Amino acid sequence: MERTRELTAKTEQAIARLLDENLSLGLIITLHRGNAAPDKLPTLIAWIRTLSARGVGRIRLHLLESDSFHIRQKFGLTTAENLHALTQFEALEAELGQKFFDIFDDMKRMLGFQDYKASCVWRGCDSYNTEAVQSVNHLGLLTNCGRTTQDGVDFLKAEDHGYERYLALYHTPHEHGGCQDCRFFLACKGYCPGTAIHNDWRNRTEYCDLLTQLFERVEAEMVAKGQTPLSLHPERAQYEQIMLTAWAEGKNPSVGHPKGDARLIPLSGNGARPEGSPRPPFIRLAWGSADARAIWEPRMVGIRQAWQVLELISVREGLRACALVTLSETEFGRLHKRAQKYGLTYAELPPPLGSPKKDDRFVALSASTTASGGALANFQTAWHAADHAEIGRLLGYPACCIAAFQKNGAAHPLQDPIWQTALQTSGVPKTPPESPPYQEFDNDPHTNILLTPLGIHPVLHLPCTFTCAETLSIAQKFLHLGRENHLSGEMNDLLSILSWPVEWSALHGIAEIKTPLFKISTQTVATSHKHTLRLKSSAFPETGVHGMKFPFLG
């Protein structure tokens, strides 16, 4: 308490000096049981009156955000208490005769087609690259808003912006943590990801009930004045589809026209993405530190380039009969020279149904000596017949893994292969049915395929289990082949990365994969509840970042 009183006094002294120097001053006040419970609220309101009289012009009210469930339980206000406090602040604002608290003004803007003037919590924040907050860490590097730091790690900003959270929330039912069919979705967008249910940014805010009641009040006020709020607008569905299309393109435009009228914004790519259609593929990456990125990003590029070589050498050396590669238009133009270099022949294949990229070229390769009527012809026949067993055999996959794919992947395309592999490893989840599914194994780098979205993998197939002996054997052969072909450094780096502890989780069609150096998010099959898989290891890298949760506990 003594330390708290000392810091409080310093804060108030800083406020007083800023006002004495006639400097513009705004405050953020977080509402919690210690300052906004019914018995404490009058004191807080009296203090704000004093600040207003001294010249403080704006105050942002924050609902309590904490990484700790126990802190939220102890200090968080109930929905009724938060509503009571905010109602009192709204009355205070009317008494002071000015727009003092941003939350009330923002909610009116969001329903009044003026969202471009609202604060970040309403505007579709990207937790991997928070547009409104440019935090600077102790090394002078840009990091994200602290409200999104749920693991105790100040991740560097991702290089791109993504709005997969809002695409997922729009299609996820309310009972599963989403915003489906909510008429306030474009106004709220699930609110700040830092306040998401269970501290998982893929869920909507835990303050949904409170915000719904507040929006209903604003909505009723607008209707009473003869205005049509966004939530009741006859073209709301069109606005939603336009925003979904924009988010899928990596854009986050305003709902309202810059002049404030209710016209649709013209966007590139005319036409909305049909409701319920698959979201476009994406991979987002955020590094935990600049040192980690400087050391490991070039090594990861080297590993991906090494695999491009290994895919072809493994066919030339007889490790498998065929290779299947996916190439861009530019890469396809260089294929002939590469195939000649490794003594291979090739044939282009028709893209499979549901191929995510229309411009991809699918190519099968085999050794030139087997071209006429041999492996390549057999592969083409199997490809056209969708004969997964024969395709897998020609690609050198283990029979057990081919059988698992036919059972789970081919027959049940909506099942997530990672989770199916985890189930096949242990048989059943470790948690009771009423709890979120959870699996945990010791990490064997030879079967760790969780970083495959980054091109970091030990084999080219999906193992039937995380303990598959056949997969381990094939991984060792690829590692040996790489070392024989002057790729020892890349093979050592590959083993190092795959040896680290790693967590994979899936929720609402978004997979998040965390290692001690970075985290990535990518598309996966939509699940109503969170599925979590952890591969444990003591191989914590020297440049790994430390945090409060697995895998940052090294």
Cβ proximity of 156 and 129 under 8 Å: no
Cβ atoms 430, 441 nearer than 8 A: no
Q: Whole-prediction pTM value?
A: 0.89
Q: By CB neighbour count within 10 A (0-12 exposed, 13-18 middle, 19+ buried), where does 496 fall? A: middle
pLDDT at 138: 79
Strands 531-536 and 322-327: unpaired
Quick one: pLDDT at residue 266? 37
Q: Which helix (H) or strand (E) holds 520?
A: strand 518-523
Q: DSSP letters of 159-182?
A: SS---HHHHHHHHS-GGGT--TT-
Domain boundaries, the chain: 1-100, 101-279, 281-289+398-554
**364: pLDDT strictly greater than 60:** yes
Q: What are phi and psi of 413, to 5 degrees?
A: -65, -15
List, for residues 264-278, the tens digit of each pLDDT value: 443 333 333 333 334
Beta carbons within 8 Å of 324's beta carbon, 6+ residues apart = 349, 362, 363, 364, 365, 379, 391, 395
Q: Tell me if residue 5 falls in helix, strand or coil.
A: helix
Res 259: pLDDT: 39
Residue 387's pLDDT band (cuts 50, 70, 90): very high
Residue 2: pLDDT over 50: yes
Average pLDDT score over the chain: 89
Q: Provide the Cα torsion 128, 130, 131, 134; round to 10°.
A: -120
Cα–Cα dist 303/135, whole Å? 32
**φ/ψ (deg, to 5) at 40:** -100, -20
Two tokens, residue 550? 């697995």
Q: For residues 443 and 536, is the Cβ–Cβ distance under 8 A?
A: yes
pLDDT of residue 236: 93
pLDDT beyond 80 at 254: yes
Conformation bin of residue 286: beta by default, left when phi > 0, alpha when psi is -120 to 50: beta
Kindly give the residue spans of alpha helices, DSSP state H, lying in 21-75: 41-54, 69-75
Mean pLDDT of 296-317: 96
Taking only the tens place, the pLDDT of each residue in 275-289 is 333 456 899 999 999
Give the percent of the chain with pLDDT over 70.
90
The set of residues, in sequence order, having a beta carbon less than 8 Å from that of 552 and lying 6+ positions away, is: 151, 152, 153, 288, 514, 516, 544, 545, 546
Q: Report the range of poorest mean pLDDT among 301-305, 355-359, 396-400, 523-527.
A: 355-359
Task: For residue 116, give Cα distances in angstroms to 51, 228, 256, 545.
Answer: 28, 18, 7, 36
d(CA 186, CA 179): 10
pLDDT at 55: 87
Dihedral sign of CA atoms 206, 212, 217, 223 in order:
positive
- Which range (13-22, 149-158, 208-217) has the least confidence? 149-158
Rg of the chain's alpha carbons, rounded to an integer? 27
Q: pLDDT tier at 417 (50, 70, 90 boundaries)?
A: confident
Across 179-200, average pLDDT: 95
Backbone angles phi, psi at 447, to 5 degrees: -125, 5
- Residues 256, 116 contacting (CB under 8 angstroms): yes
Cα–Cα distance measured from residue 106 to residue 121, given in angstroms and rounded to the nearest whole number: 10
Contact 129, 135 (CB under 8 A): no
Token digits of residue 178? 């989403």
pLDDT the model gives residue 527: 86
pLDDT at 135: 82
- The span from the CA of 453 to the CA of 513, in Å, is 10
Per mean pLDDT, which range of 141-145, 200-204, 545-549 is the poorest? Answer: 141-145
Statement: residue 410 has pLDDT above 90: no
Q: What is the pLDDT of residue 258?
A: 41
Q: Kindly tell me if the per-residue pLDDT of 412 is higher than 60.
A: no
Q: Is the pLDDT of residue 88 over 60?
A: yes
**Can you tell me the distance from the alpha carbon of 154 to that of 22, in angstroms, rounded to the nearest whole number?**
34
Of the candidate ranges 153-167, 229-243, 341-355, 393-407, the one whose mean pLDDT is the lowest: 341-355
Q: Calculate ∠ Cα 509-199-70, nearest 5°.
A: 150
Total H helices, total E strands in the chain: 18, 13
For 360-452, where are the alpha helices, taking DSSP H only?
A: 375-385, 388-394, 399-404, 417-426
Task: Tell me the mean pLDDT in the region 232-241.
Answer: 93
- pLDDT of residue 415 exceeding 60: no
Pairing of the two strands 438-442 and 531-536:
parallel
- For residue 122, give the DSSP letter: G
Residue 148 has pLDDT above 90, yes or no: no
Q: How far apart are the first and last CA of the chain?
A: 33
Torsion of CA 115, 118, 119, 120, to 10 degrees: 0
Task: Provide the phi-psi class of 343: left if phi over 0, else alpha when psi is between -120 and 50, else beta.
Answer: left
- Does residue 196 have a pLDDT over 70? yes
434 Cβ contact list (under 8 Å, min separation 6):
none
pLDDT of 372 higher than 60? no
Joined together, the tokens standing for residue 439 give 């699996």
Return d(Cα 488, Cα 25) in angstroms, integer: 59
Q: What is the structure's pLDDT at 265? A: 40
pLDDT at 554: 60
Find the mean pLDDT for residues 83-110. Answer: 91
Quickly state the pLDDT bin for 436 (edges 50, 70, 90).
confident
